[in-house]
């Protein structure tokens, strides 16, 4: 073997280069790390809080407020505004029945359903529902949800204090009102058409900013008054966003083993296909090597 390498250095180097190129392309195109990610934003509501590492709130909710660093600290306020959200994963006997019960109870508590979705894959039916409930009734409603399912797999409650933003918006609106009053005073004394047009444009722009800030205040008011609850439902707790970390389920292990086997077979088949495709390169080289070896 070593004698062959010494006498056919060029051929061996060529084979190594071909092999390196072949396997490099295989690993780049088909990495052997199987990263399975479960995406709940398709089948579930996109209003999941930041604690679930899912930041999928609507664009209006994301862009309506500047970063919190833009706001000055609020003075002492007795009536603070806090936006409360809750997420819960429930194992239930019947997903559709649970959705109906959650909706009905929300309406009886002066709340309403924001959105809902139900899917029935082969493994287990799943669903999600998002509701709004008056903040004063949040704890009572969460107690109802805990009794609704077979098991509470996961639960989270979060709060965001928006008092600083609200007070800052008040200050901005007050400043803009003063500015608008000055523009209107100047407008009444203006005589030149160009001045009238320019002042009128400034008045319109100022009013637009005032309306925008008032809209943001209205959003903060409603969000702090009505808590958002997102409930994930399934007949199988392992189909929920937060499955138990330690549990022995033979049927689940079997499914995982089958999936791993299928993945391995696919990767082996991929390697074979790549090898066959590149056979136009390595087969002639191999034939040449064998020919030279027999000739000796």
* Per-residue DSSP letter, 73: P
Angle at 118 between CA 92 and CA 141, to 5 degrees: 50
Question: Which burial class, exposed, middle or buried, applies to 119 when counting CB atoms under 10 A from its CB (0-12, 13-18, 19+)?
Answer: middle
* CB neighbour list of residue 259: distance below 8 Å, 6 or more residues apart: none
The pLDDT value given to residue 46 = 36
pLDDT, tens only, 89-116: 999 999 999 999 999 999 999 999 999 9
- Per-residue burial over 266-292, b if 16 or more Cβ lie within 10 Å, else e, is eeeeebeebeeebeeeeeeeeeebeee
The pLDDT value given to residue 252 = 74
**Domains of the chain: which residue ranges?**
2-35+263-295, 40-239
- Report pTM: 0.52
The pLDDT value given to residue 259 = 84
The pLDDT value given to residue 292 = 79
Smallest Cα–Cα separation from 239: which of 49, 89, 96, 36?
89
The pLDDT value given to residue 18 = 66
Smallest Cα–Cα separation from 126: which of 244, 8, 238?
238
Report the interhelical angle of 163-189 vs 193-225 (nearest 10°).
Answer: 160
Q: What are the residue ranges in the chain where pLDDT is below 70?
A: 1-78, 121-123, 242-248, 296
Instruction: Give the number of other CB atoms < 10 A from CB of residue 213.
Output: 17
The pLDDT value given to residue 74 = 47
- Rounded CA-CA distance 238/226 in Å is 31
The pLDDT value given to residue 238 = 79
Contact 114, 228 (CB under 8 A): yes
């Amino acid at each position: 073997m070593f004698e062959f390498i010494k006498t056919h250095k060029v051929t061996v180097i060529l084979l190594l280069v071909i092999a390196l190129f072949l396997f490099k392309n295989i690993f780049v195109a088909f990495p052997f790390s199987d990263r399975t990610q479960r995406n709940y934003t398709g089948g579930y509501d996109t209003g999941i809080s930041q604690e679930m590492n899912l930041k999928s709130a609507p664009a209006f909710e994301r862009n309506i407020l500047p970063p919190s660093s833009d706001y000055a600290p609020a003075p002492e306020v007795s009536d603070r505004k806090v936006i409360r959200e809750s997420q819960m994963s429930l194992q239930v006997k019947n997903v559709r029945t649970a959705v109906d019960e959650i909706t009905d109870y929300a309406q009886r508590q002066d709340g309403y359903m924001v959105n809902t979705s139900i899917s029935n894959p082969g493994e287990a039916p799943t669903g999600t529902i998002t509701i709004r409930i008056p903040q004063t009734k949040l704890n009572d409603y969460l107690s109802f949800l805990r009794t609704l399912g077979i098991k509470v797999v996961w639960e989270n409650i979060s709060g965001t204090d928006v008092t600083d933003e609200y007070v800052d918006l008040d200050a901005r609106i007050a400043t803009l009102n003063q500015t608008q009053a000055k523009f209107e005073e100047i407008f009444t004394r203006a005589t030149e058409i160009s001045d009238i047009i320019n002042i009128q444009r400034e008045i319109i722009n100022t009013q637009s900013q005032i309306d925008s800030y008032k809209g943001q205040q209205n959003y903060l008011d409603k969000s702090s008054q009505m808590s958002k609850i997102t409930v994930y439902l399934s007949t199988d707790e392992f189909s929920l966003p937060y499955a138990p970390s330690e549990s022995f389920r033979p049927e689940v292990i079997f499914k995982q083993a089958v999936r791993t086997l299928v993945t391995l077979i696919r990767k082996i088949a991929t390697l074979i296909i790549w090898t066959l495709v590149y056979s136009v390169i390595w087969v002639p080289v191999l034939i040449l090597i064998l020919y030279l070896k027999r000739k000796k």
